[in-house]
């Protein structure tokens, strides 16, 4: 088997005294779709943000496409060009129209000429089904449309890997489907994807692997059928039962050590 | 009436809240009207008109008050604004830098130049700079000196405005730019600063209005007849004619520019409000 597209080795990350990641090892192969699930505060977003070094790991190594991202001498801007990132809050550039959002990074970062950038932008807008919004400004779009534009913006840079940080968490429920449809299509086209999400249906249908994190460690890692369908650990079962049927949850005593829960 | 209302009004005694409010407003109006009337009655309008509103003296100011004095005021202001904007931008970026000494230096600059009266800075530029660097001339003569003095003053204010504008741009914008492969500098220039300027356009225009007035301090640098701006021009004419009409005309010329500018600022502010919604 060829080298994994994303490789995380012994990753630790602390914010002050708060140890958010406590030794993560993870490999994601080329074309693989991995969904990372887990309760809030489990460190899953931090893990994702360490992959393109938006957060600097305290300890450990991250490789993307064979390049060590955590190498102090790495040209991080060059590495990031190969990693597309989609945020919970979309983070479109509000002062630019949709086409500008897609062309400006291509021109400033990749040095593409105006014509090429415009052509690539149009292709990728079509890919997310928003060709007709090319001249609209982000503020006039719905959340779902903004997120699809954000995906198109990342794709226009020609990434080898796509990271999604809770891409549907800020959306009204009826808009979630459009974004997931775009992601599903991307997965079918063979994109390597790492998705932090609460959408269990998406994880079950689209993911090749599901990783359950809690307290800064990976608790379970396996096929969706196994992790979601037949979880081995009590913590996974507990989390899933709350997620799948929130109305049935009992009132619990708050435990102070959300992050520092003991190992299973 | 709900329970809370009754709780707030335990006893029905004297005036209701609404009656009190209208009574208080009535008193304010009365005081204001009395002040206006007192001013109108006690002021000696005849002498005021004699001293400030002589039509023939006002007439002989034209066209020089526009073609020379107002033109110079605008020139001084704009050149000072440009210098201040560039310098202010640099200082704002230094203030936000991760390099400690840069931040420290920028902080010192802002504190000093914000704390000093503009007048002292004009004197400093006029006297201290030629003393410190003998033989060197500030390029542009008086215009250069004014641009420098006004620039030094306004840079301190503008730096703080620009810094606030940059910090008002959500953090996610920088993260999005960086994750697309922008270097920090490129992200600043193409993504953050354009958004910051939208936010700070109204306060920057206000700064322009302030500079417009501060340009009158140029008279402390000593100017030739051709370099006079509105205030100096008005004062000179007032002393030759022994009448204050030129002062009034000069004042009206300031308002001619500042009032439309203020109007533009208000328009921009209400537009910015709409954009947020």
Burial of B260 (0-12, 13-18, 19+ CB in 10 A): exposed
User: Residue A212 forms beta bridges with which residues?
Assistant: A37, A220
CB contact under 8 A, A80 and B179: yes
Average pLDDT estimate for A16-20: 92
Residue of A nearest to B195 (CA): A95
Q: Which residues in chain B are closer than 8 Å to A95, comparing Cβ atoms?
A: 194-195, 198
How far from B248 is each of A110, A219, B76, B215, B235, CA to CA, in Å?
59, 81, 21, 17, 10
Shortest Cα distance, chain B CAs vs residue A112, angstroms = 14
* pLDDT on residue B8: 59
CA-nearest residue to A55 within chain B is B175
| Rounded mean pLDDT, A200-212 | 93
Does residue B179 sit at the A interface (CB-CB below 8 Å)?
yes
Interchain contact A158–B (C-beta under 8 A): no
Shortest alpha-carbon distance between residue B195 and chain A (Å): 6
A85, B179: Cβ pair inside 8 Å? yes
- Give the tens place of pLDDT for each residue, A113-135: 999 999 999 999 999 999 999 99
Query: Mean pLDDT, to the nearest integer, of A52-75?
Result: 93
**Does residue A263 carry a pLDDT above 80?**
no
B146 lies within 8 A of chain A by CB: no
**Predicted local distance difference test score (pLDDT) of residue A191:** 96
Minimal CA separation from B210 to chain A, in Å? 28
How many beta-carbon pairs under 8 angstroms link A with B?
A: 59
The whole-number average pLDDT for the span A139-151 is 95
Prediction pTM value: 0.81
Residue A157 phi, psi (nearest 5): -85, 0
Instruction: Enumerate residue ranges in chain B where pLDDT < 70.
Output: 1-12, 272-277
**Cross-chain Cβ contact B180/A81 below 8 Å:** yes
CA distances from B245 to B56, B61, B223 (A): 10, 10, 22
- In which band, very low, low, confident or very high, does the pLDDT at A56 lie, cut at 50, 70 and 90? very high
Closest partner residue to A104 among B190, B198, B275, by Cβ? B190
Give the per-residue pLDDT at B67. 83
- Residues in chain B with CB shorter than 8 Å from the CB of A139 are 275
Of B66 and A140, the one with more pLDDT: A140
Query: Which among B179, B181, B190 has CB closest to A54?
Result: B179
Residue B43 has what pLDDT?
A: 87
* Confidence tier at A260 by pLDDT (50, 70, 90): very low
Q: Give A91's contacts in chain B (Cβ within 8 Å).
A: 170, 172-173, 175-176
- Confidence at residue A258, expressed as pLDDT on a 0 to 100 scale: 46
pLDDT attached to residue B201: 87
The confidence band for A31, taking pLDDT boundaries of 50, 70 and 90, is: very high
Q: In this model, does residue A85 exceed pLDDT 50?
A: yes
Position A256 scores a pLDDT of 52
pLDDT at B57: 79
CB contact under 8 A, B179 and A104: no
Q: How far is B259 from chain A (nearest CA, A)?
A: 29
CB contact under 8 A, B180 and A154: yes
CA distance B193 to chain A (A): 11
Residue A259 has pLDDT above 60, yes or no: no
CATH of B63-276, one of 3.90.1150.10, 3.40.109.10, 1.10.3720.10, 3.30.750.210: 1.10.3720.10
Most distant CA atoms of chain A, gap in Å: 60
B183 interfacial to chain A (CB closer than 8 Å)? yes
CB A93 within 8 A of CB A101: yes
B181 and A81 in contact by Cβ < 8 A? Answer: yes
The reported pLDDT for the residue numbered B241 is 85
Evaluate if residue A139 carries a pLDDT over 80.
yes
- Note whether A74 contacts B: Cβ–Cβ < 8 A: no
The set of long-range contacts for A62-70, using a CB threshold of 8 Å and a minimum separation of 24, is A62/A6, A62/A7, A62/A8, A62/A9, A62/A11, A63/A4, A63/A6, A63/A7, A63/A8, A63/A9, A64/A5, A64/A6, A64/A7, A64/A160, A64/A161, A65/A5, A65/A160, A65/A161, A66/A3
Q: Does B272 touch chain A (CB under 8 A)?
A: no
Is B177 within 8 Å of A95 when comparing Cβ atoms?
no
Q: Given the DSSP bridges, would you call strands A59-64 and A67-68 parallel, antiparallel or unpaired?
A: antiparallel
Give the torsion through C-alpha atoms of B118, B122, B124, B128, to 10 deg.
Answer: 170
Selected for mutation to probe chain A from B181, B195, B201 (highest A CB count within 10 Å) is: B181
- Per-residue pLDDT at B243: 85
- CB-closest option in B179, B190, B195 to A52: B179
In chain A, residues with a C-beta closer than 8 Å to the C-beta of B178 are: 54, 77, 80
Alpha helix positions (H), chain A:
44-51, 76-81, 98-110, 114-127, 143-155, 176-188, 200-206, 224, 234-244
Contact yes or no for A247/A8 (Cβ under 8 A): no
Per CB-CB distance under 8 Å, the chain A contacts of B195 are 93-95
Put simply, whether B271 touches A (Cβ < 8 Å) is no
CB within 8 Å: A109 and B173: no
Closest by alpha carbon to B184, among A90, A54, A163, A59? Answer: A54
A83 CB within 8 Å of a chain B CB: yes
Q: Do B181 and A54 touch (CB under 8 A)?
A: no
Q: Residue B62: what pLDDT? A: 82
């Amino acid at each position: 088997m060829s080298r994994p597209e994303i490789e995380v080795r012994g990753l630790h990350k602390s914010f002050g005294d708060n140890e958010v990641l406590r030794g993560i090892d993870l490999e994601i192969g080329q074309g693989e779709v991995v969904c990372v699930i887990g309760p809030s505060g489990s460190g899953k977003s931090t893990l994702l943000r360490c992959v393109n070094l938006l957060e600097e790991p305290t300890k450990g190594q991250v490789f993307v496409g064979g390049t060590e991202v955590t190498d102090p001498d790495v040209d991080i801007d060059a590495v990031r060009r190969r990693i597309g990132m989609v945020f919970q809050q979309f983070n479109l550039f509000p002062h630019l129209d949709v086409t500008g959002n897609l062309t400006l990074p291509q021109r400033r970062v990749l040095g593409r000429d105006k014509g090429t950038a415009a052509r690539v932008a149009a292709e990728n807008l079509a890919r997310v089904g928003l060709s007709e919004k090319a001249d609209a400004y982000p503020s006039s779009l719905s959340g779902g449309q903004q997120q699809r534009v954000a995906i198109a913006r990342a794709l226009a840079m020609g990434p080898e890997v796509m990271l999604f940080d809770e891409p549907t968490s800020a959306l009204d429920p009826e808009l979630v489907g459009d974004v997931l449809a775009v992601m599903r299509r991307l997965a079918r086209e063979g994109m390597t994807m790492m998705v932090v999400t609460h959408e269990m249906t998406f994880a079950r249908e689209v993911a090749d692997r599901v990783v359950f994190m809690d307290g800064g460690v990976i608790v379970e890692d396996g096929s969706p059928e196994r992790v979601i369908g037949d979880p081995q650990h009590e913590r996974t079962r507990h989390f899933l039962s709350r997620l799948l049927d929130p109305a049935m949850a009992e009132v619990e005593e708050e435990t102070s050590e959300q992050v520092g829960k003991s190992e299973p | 009436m709900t329970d809370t209302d009754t709780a707030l009004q335990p006893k029905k005694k004297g005036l209701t809240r609404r009656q009190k409010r209208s009574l208080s407003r009535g008193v304010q109006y009365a005081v204001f009207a009395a002040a206006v009337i007192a001013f109108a009655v006690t002021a000696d309008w005849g002498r005021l008109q004699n001293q400030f509103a002589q039509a023939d003296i006002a007439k002989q100011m034209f066209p020089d008050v526009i073609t020379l004095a107002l033109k110079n005021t605008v020139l001084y202001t704009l050149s000072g604004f440009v210098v201040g904007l560039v310098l202010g931008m640099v200082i704002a970026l230094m203030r936000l830098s991760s390099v400690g000494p840069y931040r420290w230096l920028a902080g010192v600059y802002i504190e000093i130049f914000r704390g000093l009266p503009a007048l002292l800075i004009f004197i400093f530029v006029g006297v201290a700079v030629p003393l410190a660097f003998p033989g060197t001339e500030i390029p542009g003569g008086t215009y250069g000196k004014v641009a420098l003095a006004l620039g030094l003053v306004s840079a301190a204010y503008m730096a703080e405005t620009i810094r606030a504008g940059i910090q008002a741009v959500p953090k996610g914008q920088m993260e999005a730019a960086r994750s697309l492969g922008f270097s920090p500098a490129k992200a600043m220039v193409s993504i953050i600063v354009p958004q910051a300027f939208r936010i700070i356009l109204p306060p920057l225009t206000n700064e322009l209005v302030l500079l417009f007035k501060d340009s009158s301090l140029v008279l402390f640098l000593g100017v030739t007849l051709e370099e006079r701006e509105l205030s100096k021009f008005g004062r000179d004419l007032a002393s030759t004619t022994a009448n204050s009409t030129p002062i009034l005309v000069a004042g009206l010329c300031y308002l001619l520019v500042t009032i439309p500018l203020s109007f533009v600022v208000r328009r921009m502010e209400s537009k910015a409000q709409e954009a947020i919604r």
